[in-house]
Structure 1
Amino acid sequence: MLQTKKLVSILLLTASLGACSSIELTQDSNKRLCAKDDGTFYTCQDMVLQQKEITEATSHPSLFTTDLHFNGLDEYTEQMAAELQQDVRGIEVDQAIVVASFVNLDSSLQNTNTIGIQLAESFINELQQIGLPVSDHKIMGKLDVNGRGDFAFSRDMEQLSNNVNIGYVLTGTMLQNSRGILVNARLINFKTNVVAASSSKFLPNVVISNLM
């Protein structure tokens, strides 16, 4: 009977050691009392990263940089086009939409840049994708074939076609700060000036830096 009690005590001790492989030994959080499989104890330490390893890890942008952003300009305009589509529900948009360059939010509203032009180009595609009628007012109505190439677009008013029946204009403003650009887009009835839909998105610098 005594041997049985000893055997039970040993089994309980072994199970206890297996359930908790390490216990606190000192006030040093890196030092602990660890148990081997045979029941003996030894002092063990938590693995400590060398300063070089910490520096290399924290300098790796894919692991620790919070400024990473994986959206492109087309993904922002896609989201904005979807919001515009939500606003125009119930409104029959049966006349062509022309897309104008987005302009800087200043006193003149007559200044744009590469971002403003690319926003307009991207919106032409996105509005077409969601099924809204889009017209490109920069088409000349003829081909200009010369030694430099074959051209269908122009920004010369005298060369542009006057047959565009404009129903709506999509345009907007840009306001830049240290973190990026706030873009406000509006779909406006060309005859009544009534805003039929609007959307707003903030484009961080990481998105726009490759476009300028």
Structure 2
Amino acid sequence: MVFVKKLIPSAWLAVGVMLSGSIAGCTSTESIGSFWLGEDGEITHDAEPVPVPNRSGLVYTPDSRDRQYQQHVEVEPGYKDPLHHGYAPAQTHKRLNDYASQLAMELMDNATRLTQQDMVGVASFVRLNQSLSDSTVLGNQLSEYLIAELQDFGLAVVDFKLAGGITVTPVGDFVLTRDGTALAKQVEMDHVVTGTIIEDDRGVRVNARIVSLENKQVVASANVYIPAFIVMDLNKVASVN
């Protein structure tokens, strides 16, 4: 490698060369010679080589992040899995509806024998336990998001929580209910979207499927893993409300 620097107005060039063999009488691989360009165009070499340090390796210079990490290690030595010890990012662009969108996309991608004319209801997702009737904030909100997401794919979604009529009260007019006696007497559905949630220290595994009500056949299935900090944010909002 040759480095050339032109100095004005002296009209000479200083050239540094790492010597890998014998050049102009210099055989050391650890020295730099100086080359001079005269006014007559002739290049002459300085008789005395200039020694240079060996720079064959890469040198890393620590910065503030290294010093900060070192201080953290001195306080708490040993590695800890952040997900198992309350990991929570300062900021995240991910929301629960993003995971609902991913679920809907996988369900429609894997769907068989499902047409746009089929009436589909969306039920709450429940914990995978003996009763299969224990839902959570995550399970209820996920089913609500899936209504809109599946409709975007052209499915005919049925809301079976619709009451038999509108209830007018001083604080509002209501048509949705969870009271079984107040529900509409008959709701036509061909399929239902349901699923289970499995919780661990890192987050929640959601297993979703679309099942035919006629023959109980699973016509589509999908799963997604939702990190713990997403679920914890949902629980904080629910506790405030």
TM-score for both structures, normalised by structure 2:
0.63
User: What's 2:14 paired with?
Assistant: 11
Superposed, which structure 2 residues align to 1:4-43 within 5 Å?
11-13=14-16, 24=53
The alignment covers a number of residue pairs equal to 178
How far the C-alpha of 1:70 sits from its partner, in A, is 2.9
Superposed, which structure 2 residues align to 1:21-170 within 5 Å?
24=53, 49=63, 54-55=67-68, 68=89, 69-89=92-112, 91-170=114-193
- Other structure's SS at 2:222 match: strand
2:209 partner amino acid:
R
Alignment gaps of 5+ in structure 2: 1-9, 19-31, 34-51, 73-81, 236-241
CA distance in 2, matches of 1:96, 1:47: 64
Contact 1:95–1:133 at 8 Å: present in 2 too? yes
CA distance in 1, matches of 2:64, 2:194: 55
Contact 2:119–2:157 at 8 Å: present in 1 too? yes
Contact 1:95–1:165 at 8 Å: present in 2 too? no
How far the C-alpha of 1:130 sits from its partner, in A, is 1.1
**Bigger helix share:** 1
Report Cα offsets for 1:122-143 as digits up to 9, x if no partner: 1111111111110100011311
TM-score for both structures, normalised by structure 1:
0.72
Change (3 A) 1:191 1:93: farther
Contact 1:104–1:112 at 8 Å: present in 2 too? yes
2:199 partner amino acid:
Q
Work out which structure has the larger RCO, using CA pairs closer than 8 Å and 6 or more positions apart in sequence. Answer: 1
Change (3 A) 1:77 1:25: same
| Matched-pair identity in % | 29
Alignment gaps of 5+ in structure 1: 1-6, 18-22, 31-45, 60-64
Change (3 A) 1:192 1:71: same
How far the C-alpha of 1:106 sits from its partner, in A, is 0.3
CA distance in 1, matches of 2:180, 2:220: 28
What is the root-mean-square deviation in Å for CA atoms of aligned residues? 3.5
2:173 partner amino acid:
D
